[in-house]
Structures are given as C-alpha cells and as structure tokens.
A = this chain, B = another copy of it.
Amino acid sequence: MNRTKIAQLYADAESLGGQTVTVAGWIKSVRDMKNFGFVTLNDGSCFRDLQVVMNREALDNYDEIAHQNVSAALICTGTVKLTPDAPQPFELSATSIEVEGVSAPDYPLQKKRATVEFLRTQQHLRPRTNLFRAVFRIRSVAAAAIHRFFQEQGFVYVNTPIITTSDCEGAGEMFRVTTLDPKNPPLTESGEVDWSQDFFGKHASLTVSGQLNAENFAMAFGDVYTFGPTFRAENSNTTRHAAEFWMIEPEMAFADLNDYMDNAEAMLKYVLKDVMATCPDELNMLNKFVDKGLIERLDHVANSDFARVTYTEAVEILEQAVAAGHQFDYPVSWGIDLQTEHERFLTEEHFKRPTFVTDYPAEIKAFYMRMNDDGKTVAAADCLVPGIGEIIGGSQREERLDLLEARIKDLGMNPEQYKYYLDLRRYGSCKHAGYGLGFERLVMYLTGVGNIRDVLPHPRTVGNADF
C-alpha cells in the first residue's frame, strides 16, 4: 500500500494539492448529510485530523462508510483539495474508502468527553484520545531530546542494571526479584530463607537508582548518563508517586556542583524548547483544556536564568515569610527537610522561576555527597520548578577516600558492601558530580497533567499493575 501519512499532508500540503493520495487511519467522527458526508480521520502521525469528504455519487459503499462507528479503521483514497477559506487548510475528496476494520458499537470511548479516572480503566484505548495523544507524543519527543542533548555533548549512554543484589543504593524500599518457590522456599540450617539457592545465588531486588553504577563509567568515559526504569516499593498513593518510573542520571567527571547545575539548566531548557518547537498542536490543546498557564510557563522557564540560593539563605527567606504572616503547615527552621509547600513558595512566590537550592545539611542528605568545608553542609543541589516543586536532585560526590570511608562508618553502614564504590576513590579519584531527573515529573511539567498515572503508558502503583 503506497500510503501517505497525515503528518506528511500537513507538511507538504501545497505541493500535494490536486494530487491523489491514500491515507489510512481511524474514525474520530462521521457526519452523514444524506448525499454527502464528512469523516474526521486520525492516523496518529500527528495531532491534527484529516477531513475526508465523501459523496454518495462517488462512492458505491457510501452507506457502509456513513454507518461506521467511532474508531473503525479506514483506508481512504482521494484528491487533496486546498481549502484556504476553511478552518482546515485542505481536505481529502474521497474517490474510494475501504473499511479495514470495523469498530463494535460498544466502543468505550465515544465522542463525549470521558474523565481521566475512567480512562485509566481503558489504558489500552486511551492513547486514542486527544489528551493522551498529546501526552504520549510529548513524552516521546522529550525522551528523544534528552538523548540528543547528552549525545551532542559527548556523553556516553550507559544501561545500568535493573536487577541488583546490593542494598547500598539507599533510597526507599525495594521489590524482591526471585524464582524461589513462594510457598516453601528453601531454608538454611538456622531456618532463614536460603537465598544462595535463588536464581542469582543471592537476594536480589529491583534497582532504585543507577547512580553508583554510572559512576563506574564516569571514571572511564568522563561524562555518562543513564535513562531507564527505576522502582520504589513505597506504599504511597499520591498523584506524584509510581512504583515504576523512568530516571535520567547523568554523571560527570572533573565537574563540581556548579558544573552539574549548569548542565541541568541547559538540559531542561533544551528539552523545553524542543518540545515547544515540535509539538505546538499538542501544547495548544493542553493549554486550552488542561492547564491554562502551560505555554506561558514553559516559555518563561526556557528563557529565564534559574535562581541559585543556599539552603541556609532559603530557610531565612522562609522564616521571613513566616514573620510576614505566611502560613506553612510544617514549621521552618535550619535543619529541616524542605517540604513541597516550602519548595513551591521559593520557586513560585519568591523567585518566580526555577530555583536551585544548594548546600543542604549533611544529616538530611545521602552518604555519597561531598562534605563542604564548614563540616555541616554538603555540596548538594535540588532544582525546584514552579507548579511541581523538586524535579532534579543532584550533588557533587565525595571524592576523598578517607572522608567517604569515615562517613560510611559514621552512618553504621557496612564498608565491605561499598568496596567497588570506594575503589573508584582508590584508583584515580577525581572531583565529580551528577544528578537524577525523574522523567515522569518532567512530562507532568511539560504537559500540565497533574497525576503521574496519566503520563505513564501503563502505570504501576500500589494495588495496580493491570494491562
């Protein structure tokens, strides 16, 4: 079949005017005016639909087509007619229409608008709606832009492992990965589960971060990044948490905290600009129906310098706000972990643009972050953005073997488990920094969609892993 995609028609309409083309797609609506009618067809190649005009005279099977249900698949051949005075720049005047696949009358997504909650029960069909067509194309375009950004800068893409036998990744609860008999697992003499008989000969879990592995590669390639799934077995049923989500984790050798922030800011702007240039139709729809301030906000962020403020200064700003009468649910004082309300106040009300908060108290941050000279803060920085709060977390890593060993011991962790990680400090250690970007958070930010369940193709949350 010599088929033309609708995206191509929009790209080349001028030169295709008067030409005969064949288009294949799915019905969004049919209007039958008895002797002529209109089919709105979408083939997924772009957000826009094609208007197909059919005439009873020209089509033997006019009635068959006029009675098709929403989402039936059609193959339409006809002439491209430029329509400079109509809302759409051209239409297809059909000379033949073939039904490739009918759609049963009980098709669950009829024309009337469905709620996102209902659509979550129709995950196999919801990509056919305008909302999810927009969200999942933007997700794809953003992913491609991220790869392009890092590749253009010479970063090496590393697929860090999903299954891990180390417990040293720190953050959060982990899913167990096993092939042992679930009911009668083999036991050791002391009556514990005998993991040595499991598939990997050890207790294994799903990774919560590829960072420590990425560092292995940064010490060889200089600049690397991961882009893959990560997992949290947390029983938290919020709009921002999923059990399975994708992360981008760049890691840069011979780089400090400022280098990380410069890179992260450039990356976010690159992705924003790319999505705005590539997906104007999708963004217009989202701006109209999902989040009225979306385009203005993206535009603003793409063209603002991000603010940078130390944690200590940020706490002072928050304390001044409290003194001036602002109410927070959680009290503010030096040493606290900033809550989302604090983060949003800083980025939305105080700085009114994306904001890096730097140099957090060591106690509330991970063991691998570099101790500052003050002995109480670490070279960490979180990037907060209006409308979301934290979107990136990163730090300069502790490159000094003695300090890193001391920190591991102080925290009661087992140095033996960190042998490989410490080896990186034994053999040619260097200043280095890295960060983690939660990809779904970014897609939520790019689309204005407020629930992580609606930016994941098939979301996995506590109690839910259907489809």
A182 to B179, CA, bound (A): 11
Proximity bits, A229-254, B CB within 8 Å = 1, else 0: 10101010000000110100000011
- Residue A161 is within 8 A (CB to CB) of chain B in the complex: yes
Size category, A interface: 35 or more
A204 to B177, CA, bound (A): 10
**Would you call A136 and B158 a contact (CB within 8 A)?**
yes
- Residue A425 is within 8 A (CB to CB) of chain B in the complex: yes
- Residue A376 is within 8 A (CB to CB) of chain B in the complex: no
- Residue A13 is within 8 A (CB to CB) of chain B in the complex: no
Instruction: Name the residue of chain B whose CB is nearest to the CB of A245.
Output: B159
- Residue A90 is within 8 A (CB to CB) of chain B in the complex: no
A30 to B41, CA, bound (A): 68
Q: Contacts A127-B216, A423-B124, A460-B200 given: A45-B162 contact, CB under 8 Å?
A: no
A221 to B200, CA, bound (A): 39
- Residues on A close to B: CB < 8 A? 1, 3, 5, 7, 24-27, 43-45, 71-73, 75, 100-104, 107, 123-125, 127-128, 132-133, 136-137, 139-140, 143-144, 147-148, 151, 154, 156-166, 173, 175-180, 182-183, 185, 187, 192-193, 199-202, 204, 206, 213, 216-217, 219-223, 228-229, 231, 233, 235, 243-244, 246, 253-254, 399, 420-421, 423-431, 456-458, 460, 462-467
Q: A124-B424, A165-B466, A173-B179 are in contact. List 8 more A-B contacts (CB 8 A).
A: A27-B428, A136-B156, A136-B217, A140-B156, A162-B244, A164-B465, A200-B464, A204-B465
Q: 8 smallest A-B Cβ distances: which pairs?
A: A101-B429, A127-B220, A44-B221, A44-B222, A200-B465, A140-B157, A73-B430, A71-B428
